[in-house]
Structure 1
Amino acid sequence: MKWLYLAAAVVAPAQAALRFGCASLTIQRLDPLVEPGRTPSSHLHQIVGGNAFQPNMTGDIGEQGSCTTCVFAEDFSNYWTAVMFFKHTNGSYKRVPIMANDALPSGIKGGMTVYYTQQDFNSNGNTKIKSFPPGFRMTVGAPTHTAEQTGLRFVCLDTKSTRFPELTEFPTKACKGGIMTVHHFPACWDGKTLDPPDHQSHMYNTVKNAFQNSGPCPATHPVRMPQLAYETLWDTAQFASMWPKDGSNPFVMSYGDNKGYGTHADYVFGWKGDSLQRAMDSSCMFNACENGKPLKSQVVSSMNKCAVKDFVGESIDGWLPELPGHSMK
C-alpha cells in the first residue's frame, strides 16, 4: 500500500503510520451522519470506536466517551460500515460474521482494521500532515451508487493476509478465506468545513485507485490530512457449501446491494486532545506507536468490554426472512 503526499509547505519529515484494530462497539440500524436522530435508520451498520456513539451526535466526541473499542485508548472516534449478509436460495438472509485481522492482537471481537498513513507508510515527502479537527466528519461512497467508486474495493481472501487483487465488486466465486472490504477516504481538506450537508464536498481525493501513491492537493482543498482507510474481514467461507448452483453471487450488503458498488463508510473524528497530531508528527510505525510511544494503548479485554446500548431492539441474527429495514413487498 503506497501513498504520496505533496504540498507547498516544507517541514521536517515525519514517518508515522498507524494500523490498529477496533473491536465491534455495536451492530444496529443507526447512522448519526446521514440519518441523524432516526431510530432505526434505513439499514444495518457495524460501528467501532468510542462509546459516545448514539442516534444523534454533536460536539467534540473525543471529550464525551468513557471507553473505546480501539487499541489506542485516546481514540474515541467512531468508524462504521454497512453489514454483509448471505442470501440463501430459499430467500432467507443470515448476517456474515466479522473476523479479526491476523496482523493484529489476537482475541479482538470482530470490528475492523483502521489505518492513518502517510507516504509509503514511512515518509510524507516533507509535507506537514494535519490532524482532523474536533467536530470533523466525513463519508465515502454511497448506497445509491451503481458503478465503480474510487478507493472502495473487495478482496477475495485465500488467507487473512491476502491483499490482492482488489476488485470493484463482489467476488464471483467462493473465497477460501472470506471476503475483505476496503474503504479508502480522501485526504485533502478545504481547511474550513467540518461537516457539509453531503459529508463529502469538504474533501478531495487525489488517489486514482485504492492504496496507490496520490498526487498533490488542489488549491480548493490544500490541507493534507492523514490517509484514513478501513479493512473489514467477513467470514464468508462458512457459507461455501450453500453457494448457488448457477454460480450467482449470494452475498448482499445490508442496504440491498448484491454488486457492491454502493459500499460506503462513515467517520466521526474523536481523538482526545492533540493525540493524533502527536502521532502524525512522530516516527512510529504500527504497534511501535503503542505504550506511550507516543500513544496510550489498552489490552484486548478492555477493547472488547466497551459497548453502547441497543437503541433499536431488533433481531439481526439467525436466518431472517428479510434484511433489517427492508420490508417484504
Structure 2
Amino acid sequence: MKWLSLSLALAVPTQAALRFGCSTLTIQRLDPLVEPGAAPSAHLHQIVGGNAFNASMDPAQGDLGDKGTCTTCTFSEDFSNYWTAVMFFKHTNGSYKRVPIMQNTALPNGINGGMTIYYTQQDFSSNGNTKITAFKPGFRMTVGTPTAESKFGPGLKFVCLNDKGTRFPELDDFPTQRCPGGIMTVHHFPACWDGKNLDSPDHQSHMYNTVKDAFQNSGPCPASHPVRVPQVAYETLWDTTQFNSMWPSDGSNPFVLSYGDNKGYGTHADYVFGWKGDSLQRAMDSSCMFNACENGNPLLSQGVQQMNACSVSKTVTEDIDSWLPEMPGMSGM
C-alpha cells in the first residue's frame, strides 16, 4: 500500500489508528521476555516506553499501566515497553561502532532517537468493520527470531532511505549499497489473538499472523485465534550515513545487528502491553487518526521535553558508545 494513500485515509471517519513517537528509554543488554532476570542478556537492545521496565518484568508483579511513573512515548497513558536489537557498523579493521538512532520525520522535532509506534486496524484506509479488542494487562509477544537463517515471515523489513520519508521498496535483508538517508528497520506484529493466553512459551503461539507487508492484513482471523487486536508495528531509523565513507572496498555489507546477524533475517522485536486503564480500547473505538488522537481526543499526550526526561537506571554497565573490539556479549565473533 503506497503511503500516498495516507491523505485519503485521513478523510475516512470510521478509521482509528495511532502513530506516535517514543524517545529512547535505555540502551542496554536486557531482555525480560526471552531472558527474564538476566543482567546482562545475550545482546544489546534499544528500549522505549514506560519506566517500569526492568530485567525481570514478571507479570505477577502487577500491571505496567499502574506501575510506571513516566513514559518516553507521546501518549502519557502508554506505559508499554517496545524494544529491538541494536545496529552496529563493522569496520574493515574488525572494530565495531553502534549506529545512532534518528527521529522519524513525521514526529515532533527533538525526540531523542527512539522509535515510531503504530497501532492500526485492518490497514490505513479501512477498519474492516471488525471489532478491535485492546490487549489485556500482562499481555506480551515477540515477532521474528534471532536464529533465523532465511526470510522469517511477512512484516519484517529493511528500507534503504533516500530521506526520512522513504518507505519503499521494503527489503527482506540489509541493503547492499550505501543509503543516502540511512536504514529503517520495520517490525509488524501479528494481529490475531487466541483470546485466552497473555503469553506463550515461545511468546508467539498465542498469536496468528494475517499481516501482509506495508500495514495490510490479509484476511479474517482463524477460529484458533479469533480475536482481532490492533496491529502493532515499529519503525526504527538508523543513521548509517556517517559510515558511508568507510564502506568496504569489496562492496560487502558492513552493518550487523547486535546478536551477530549481518544478513538481517533474524531481525526481531518484543512488546509488553502497559496502557493505563481502558485508554487503548477507547482509542480503538474512536475515529481519530494519528496526532488527531492527542490532547484528550481521546488520549492524553505530552510534549517532547517530558518524553526525553523519562529514563531508567543502568542495570548493565558497559561501554556501548566507543569503537569496540567486539559487540557487547559477542565475545569471539
Q: TM-score range by the shorter chain?
A: over 0.9
Return the TM-score normalized by structure 1. Answer: 0.95
Deviation at 1:321, TM superposition (A): 0.3
From 48, 62, 69, the counterpart of 2:65 = 62
What is the deviation of 1:14?
Answer: 4.1
Alignment pair present for 1:121 and 2:124: yes
The superposition leaves residues 181-228 of structure 1 with CA deviations (integer Å, 9 ceiling, x where unpaired) of 000000000000001111000000012434334211000000000010
Give the 3-state SS of the residue equivalent to 1:167 in structure 2.
Answer: coil
Q: Output aligned runs, 1:98-113, within 5 Å.
A: 98-113=101-116
State yes or no: 1:85 paired with 2:100: no
Q: Of 295, 298, 303, which aligns to 1:294?
A: 298
Could you tell me the percent identity over the aligned residues?
79
Provide the rounded CA distance (Å) in 2 between the counterparts of 1:208 and 1:151.
6
- Residue 46 of structure 1 corresponds to which residue in structure 2? 46
AA aligned opposite 2:177: K
Structure 1 gap segments, 5+ residues each: 3-12
1:174 to 170, 175, 178: 178
Shift of the alpha carbon at 1:235? 0.1
CA distance in 2, matches of 1:120, 1:57: 31
CA distance in 2, matches of 1:29, 1:189: 29
Q: Distance in 2 between matches of 1:135 and 1:80?
A: 16
Counterpart check, 1:15 vs 2:11: no
Contact 2:195 2:226 in 1 (8 A): yes
After TM superposition, give the deviation of residue 124 of structure 1 in Å: 1.2
Corresponding residue for residue 254 of structure 1: 258
Query: Which AA in structure 1 matches 2:301?
Result: S
Q: Deviations over 1:16-38 (max 9, x none)?
A: 10000000000000000000000
Query: 1:208 and 1:120 mapped to 2: Cα distance?
Result: 10
Q: Equivalent of 1:137, from 137, 140, 159? A: 140
Tell me by how many angstroms 1:85 deviates.
Answer: 0.1
Q: Is the 8 A contact 2:194 2:206 kept in 1?
A: yes
Q: Deviations over 1:242-270 (max 9, x none)?
A: 00000000000000000000000000000
Q: 1:17-64 deviations in whole A, cap 9, x for unaligned?
A: 000000000000000000000000000000000000000012311110
Is this contact kept in 2: 1:17–1:122, CA < 8 A?
no
**Number of the residue aligned with 1:71:** 74
Aligned equivalent of 2:97: 94
Gaps of 5+ in 2: 3-12
One-letter amino acid matched to 1:131: A
Aligned to 1:233: 237
Aligned counterparts of 1:132 and 1:208: Cα–Cα separation in 2: 21
What secondary structure, in the 3-state scheme, does the structure 2 residue paired with 1:114 have? strand
Letter matched to residue 124 of structure 1: N
Residue 205, structure 1, aligned to residue 209, structure 2: yes
Mapping for residues 269-288 of structure 1, pairs under 5 Å: 269-288=273-292
Residue in 2 aligned with 1:10?
A: none
Q: Deviations over 1:56-88 (max 9, x none)?
A: 012311110000000000000000000000000
- Give the whole-Å Cα distance in 1 for the aligned partners of 2:281 and 2:318: 39
Relative distance call for 1:106 and 1:185 in structure 2 (3 A) is same
SS at match of 1:166: coil
Measured against aligned partners, the alpha-carbon deviations of 1:100-130 in whole angstroms (never above 9, x if no partner) come to 0010000000000000001332431211000
Q: CA RMSD in A?
A: 1.1
State how far apart, in whole Å, the 1-side matches of 2:183 and 2:289 are: 26
Does the CA-based 8 Å contact 2:43-2:259 persist in structure 1?
yes
Q: Secondary structure at the match of 1:267?
A: strand
- Secondary structure at 2:46 match in 1: strand
SS at the partner of 2:187?
strand
